[in-house]
Structure 1
């Protein structure tokens, strides 16, 4: 019997491992040999599901609103958003026309959010008439002609997200003032400088230029910017820019011309027209005319 059992176990093993060979298997039972043909056994394997992981692309960290011209959710926009920055540059929020003490001009603004705008603009031209066309330096009155050029970069901030604005920025001034001294007294009698009267006829014409020394002038303003319609609005601003001290140049037509005057002691004396021009030049620089340059402007805005 042991032989039969061992034989049966062996047959089962052979059948499962060599079924594809389909060769006959010999089984001995009670000394009788019998031949059995093994049938191939079909073994089914269930495939394990394969998990494939796909890493999602990160969503952009910025979004551009073409209607408002706003760059929002700007985290990483500078590093990965060259296209967005380009779109922002060519899609300004508004354009404005202005007139004021800096001149006649215009600016373009880009909205950074609902409260903040960046501005780039220019104002210039002859605006001396806005200052009355003349001014006094000590006892001498000067007629003024001006040639302004004031490019500027700034920020407009709406602290309460309404019409009230606060502005700050930098002006790059290139402003020239041409001045001409006006004599006083009957028949254009004299120029009074340092409380001394110089004969105006002998001195001749005194004229020159004034320039502010600052190449960069910081400014600050407050104002209002109400919207009239969805697209149109108006604005007004007041403030000041620090232009710095002045450089002045005054010339006489004939600098060697002899000029009579009476000194403080009442003693008659003489000098030259060139020396009178130098005294007038020093008075102009000491005055520091418009060192703090007033900013007053009004204008209209079109919003995209």
Structure 2
């Protein structure tokens, strides 16, 4: 009896080992031979793919929120794999931006626009009665959010610009005079009035509205209008001559000499007029561009 039990136990152990090894095992009990053959257990793991579908109406990659908030790995995957890249031209300059889709209606954007865009304004502007030629050097990094509130082509944007915009200005005399605060100063006595301007704000909030239609599975175009609050400007103006300045009164041929008035005084008056110019406080935003979506 003890032999039978030991034999049975040995058979069970060998059978278990055979099951793991997936090899047949033969156990001899007396004159009988019993063959045990183990069948391997198959465990299947089936991963469900995450659907990242391109929405042709909204023009963005959908279902990306989970990749952003689903963990560190997913977040960095989205950072290095943006949803779109765009090229643009407008009143802030020539530039480009990168977009990351948070969901079907929200896209985070980071970009830069700059360069010499004075020609987009016509190359000159008027500060009261003085006309100035302008050369510009713009640098406008920005970070913003683009919303599609109705899920179609209509967009609304908001964000922050870090402006570093310089304007070089040269006054153009009109009829041989610079007219400042309704007083006409002889341009030959003053000489050339030249200077520079820059915005005071180090951070400038902006808002836009626009449209972003698609022209294919990957390509799209966009247009935006809006404004950025750049704040007041700091101006510096100097005159190229020294000495007394004649004031044109309209009656005396060649003007009259006003004691104490110098070209530096005229430059200071022009500087104040430039700083008081309102439209530079609110910088208009008009831009056009093209987008490629991955």
Contact 1:70–1:93 (8 Å) recurs in 2: no
1:118–1:76: structure 2 CA closer, same or farther, 3 Å change rule?
closer
What's 2:227 paired with? 240
- Equivalence for 2:111: 121
- C-alpha deviation, 1:258, in angstroms: 1.9
Identify which of 56, 64, 72 aligns with 1:82: 72
| Aligned residue in 2 for 1:269 | 258
How many residue pairs end up in the alignment? 235
Aligned pairs for 1:2-13 (under 5 A) are none
Cα RMSD of the aligned pairs, angstroms, is: 2.2
In structure 2, stretches of 5+ residues that fail to align are 1-49, 55-60
Higher deviation after alignment, 127-136 or 281-290: 281-290
Helix, strand or coil for the counterpart of 1:214?
coil
Q: Deviations over 1:160-187 (max 9, x none)?
A: 11111000000000000100000011xx
Indicate conservation of the 8 Å contact 1:66/1:91, yes or no.
Answer: no
Match of 2:125 in 1: 135
- 1:95-110 equivalences under 5 Å are 95-110=85-100
- Distance between the aligned counterparts of 1:92 and 1:74, measured in 2? 12
Q: Do the aligned residues in 2 keep the contact of 1:119 with 1:153 (CA within 8 Å)?
A: yes
Matched residue of 2:267: which SS? helix
Which residue of 1 is the match for residue 44 of structure 2? none
Q: Does 1:196 align with 2:189?
A: no
Task: Give the distance between the partners of 1:76 and 1:99, measured in 2 at CA.
Answer: 33
Residue aligning to 1:229 = 216
Q: Given that residues 227 and 233 in structure 1 are in contact (C-alpha distance below 8 angstroms), is that contact kept between their aligned partners in structure 2? A: yes
8 Å Cα contact 1:95-1:108 kept in structure 2: yes
Q: TM-score, normalised by structure 2?
A: 0.75
Alignment partners' CA distance in 2, 1:234 and 1:247: 36
Q: Is this contact kept in 1: 2:67–2:78, CA < 8 A?
A: no
Using the alignment, how far apart are the partners of 1:291 and 1:70 within structure 2?
40
TM-score by length of 1: 0.73
CA distance in 2, matches of 1:147, 1:164: 32
Contact 1:69-1:93 at 8 Å conserved across structures: no
Going from structure 1 to structure 2, the CA distance change for 1:120 and 1:66 (only over 3 Å counts) comes to: farther
Distance in 2, matches of 1:181 and 1:191, equals 8
Q: Which residue does 2:277 correspond to in 1?
A: 287
1:166-177, aligned counterparts within 5 Å? 166-177=156-167
SS at match of 2:245: strand
Pairwise CA distance, 1:253? 1.5
* 1:302 aligned counterpart, secondary structure: strand
| Kept after mapping to 1: 8 A contact 2:245/2:257 | no
* Residues 62-86 of structure 1, C-alpha deviations (whole Å, 9 max, x = no match): x684973753347963xxx111110
Aligned to 1:112: 102
Aligned residue in 2 for 1:210: 197
User: Aligned partners of 1:302, 1:75: CA distance in 2, in Å?
Assistant: 21
CA distance in 2, matches of 1:237, 1:198: 43
Given that 1:246 and 1:288 are in contact with CA atoms closer than 8 Å, whether structure 2 keeps it comes out as: no
1:302 aligns with 2:288: no
